[in-house]
């Protein structure tokens, strides 16, 4: 009994010290990893690296270093690295089969980081939804809609669909179609549209705004009104133009046709 007790004590001391050493390695290693991550972030910030790419590189480096720390701790416990690598490979394969969709999101996230089709605070249309980019992570991208909703879009859907970035260019063109009645004065309508467009200081002089008859429709003569503005002024000018055109046309007696239906009643004879 004394021999068994001594054996237990010896084993406890032997493996207890190894376990203590592994715990110390993990604690110190994690502390060092945090310091390295902070230094890396400061370096990237000084180099004016984009915030999205900076977050990605810091996170990737931290994960890689933590894996090395864990390997070092397991080595202290006496686990052979070849066995650990084999177990890790089998686990990775099993997890990969179970999380195929997440892996596709991961691959798409890496592509987004490399191709950079958009960045933080860009207004984009992706996967059928529109909003301002709030966060780009490895697996998904978060958009904030104009009505303050948060939409999480899987990265695989972004890469597999069209991407429209409204913020990448400094200027945008407003495309309006304004119809007038066939009995209205086309020259007066065109001059009025030109006055309205030229009176708005937010509308750029170059490229020159286009105002021209674009279509002779079924019930209206349609004008194409296409002024250029700064991207930040787009919606403000868009809404103001529509209101100004309507009120000015009303003042000048220029009609804006709307869909109508004429119903003709046929009176049948009493003998019929």
- Higher pLDDT: 43 or 151? It is 151
Residue closest to 121 by CA, chosen among 149, 144, 154, 140:
144
Categorize the per-residue pLDDT at 138 as very low, low, confident or very high, splitting at 50, 70 and 90: confident
Q: Which residues of 220-253 are buried (b: 16+ CB within 10 A; e: fewer)?
A: bbebebbbbbeeebbeebeeebeebbeeebeeee
Range of the domain at 225: 171-252
Does 2 fall in a domain?
no
Does 107 fall in a domain?
no
- Higher pLDDT: 101 or 60? It is 60
Number of compact structural domains in the chain: 3
Q: 73 and 32 in one domain?
A: yes
Give me the pLDDT at residue 99, please: 47
C-beta separation of 133 from 121 below 8 A: yes
CA separation for the pair 111, 252 (Å, rounded): 56
pTM over 0.95: no
Q: 182 and 145 in one domain?
A: no
- Higher pLDDT: 174 or 74? It is 174
Q: 224 and 154 in one domain?
A: no
Give me the pLDDT at residue 260, please: 64
79-93, 105-119, 176-190, 219-233: least confident range = 79-93
- Residue 50: which CATH number? 1.10.287.1260
- Residue 147: which CATH number? 2.30.30.60
Model confidence over 204-241: pLDDT tens digits? Answer: 999 999 999 999 988 899 999 999 999 989 999 999 99
Q: 182 and 161 in one domain?
A: no
Question: Last residue of some domain: 66, 98, 130?
Answer: 98
- Residue 195: which CATH number? 3.30.70.100
Give me the pLDDT at residue 129, please: 92
Q: 81 and 123 in one domain?
A: no
Model confidence over 8-58: pLDDT tens digits? Answer: 555 556 566 667 777 878 888 888 888 888 888 888 778 777 676 677 777
Does 145 fall in a domain?
yes
Q: 180 and 151 in one domain?
A: no
Q: 85 and 65 in one domain?
A: yes
Model confidence over 157-179: pLDDT tens digits? Answer: 898 889 999 988 999 999 999 99
Does 269 fall in a domain?
no
Would the pLDDT of 269 be above 60?
no
CA separation for the pair 178, 222 (Å, rounded): 5
CA separation for the pair 72, 26 (Å, rounded): 8
Does 103 fall in a domain?
no
Give the HSE-up count for residue 127: Cα atoms under 13 Å, Cβ half-sphere.
15
Q: How far apart are the first and last CA of the chain?
A: 123
Does 268 fall in a domain?
no
Would the pLDDT of 143 be above 80?
yes
Give the HSE-up count for residue 223: Cα atoms under 13 Å, Cβ half-sphere.
26
Q: 16 and 48 in one domain?
A: yes
Q: Residue 215 forms beta bridges with which residues?
A: 222
Helices (H), 161-233: 186-199
Give me the pLDDT at residue 108, please: 82
Q: 94 and 12 in one domain?
A: yes
Q: 185 and 159 in one domain?
A: no
Does 261 fall in a domain?
no
Q: 65 and 48 in one domain?
A: yes
Would the pLDDT of 98 be above 50?
no
Give me the pLDDT at residue 75, please: 74
Does 61 fall in a domain?
yes
Q: 210 and 148 in one domain?
A: no
């Amino acid at each position: 009994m004394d021999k068994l007790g001594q054996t237990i004590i010896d084993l406890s001391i032997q493996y207890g010290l190894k376990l203590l050493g592994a715990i110390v390695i993990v604690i110190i290693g994690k502390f060092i990893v945090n310091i390295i991550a902070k230094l890396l972030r400061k370096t990237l910030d000084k180099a004016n690296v984009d915030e999205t790419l900076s977050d990605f590189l810091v996170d990737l480096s931290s994960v890689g270093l933590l894996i090395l720390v864990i390997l070092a701790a397991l080595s202290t416990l006496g686990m052979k690295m070849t066995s650990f690598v084999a177990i890790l490979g089998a686990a990775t394969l099993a997890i990969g089969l179970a999380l195929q969709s997440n892996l596709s999101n991961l691959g798409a996230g890496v592509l987004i980081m490399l191709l950079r089709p958009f960045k933080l605070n860009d207004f984009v249309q992706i996967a059928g939804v529109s909003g301002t980019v709030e966060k780009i992570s490895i697996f998904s991208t978060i958009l904030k809609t104009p009505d303050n909703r948060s939409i999480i879009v899987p990265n695989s859907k972004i890469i597999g669909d069209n991407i429209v970035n409204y913020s990448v260019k400094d200027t945008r063109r407003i495309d309006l179609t304004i119809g007038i009645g066939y009995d209205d004065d086309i020259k007066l309508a065109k001059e009025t549209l030109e006055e309205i467009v030229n009176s708005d200081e937010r509308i750029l002089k170059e490229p020159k705004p286009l105002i021209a008859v674009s279509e002779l429709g079924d019930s209206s003569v349609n004008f194409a009104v296409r002024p250029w503005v700064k991207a930040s002024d787009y919606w403000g000018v868009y809404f103001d133009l529509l209101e100004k055109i309507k009120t000015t046309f009303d003042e000048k007696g220029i009609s804006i046709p709307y869909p109508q239906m004429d119903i003709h009643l046929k009176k049948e004879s009493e003998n019929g």
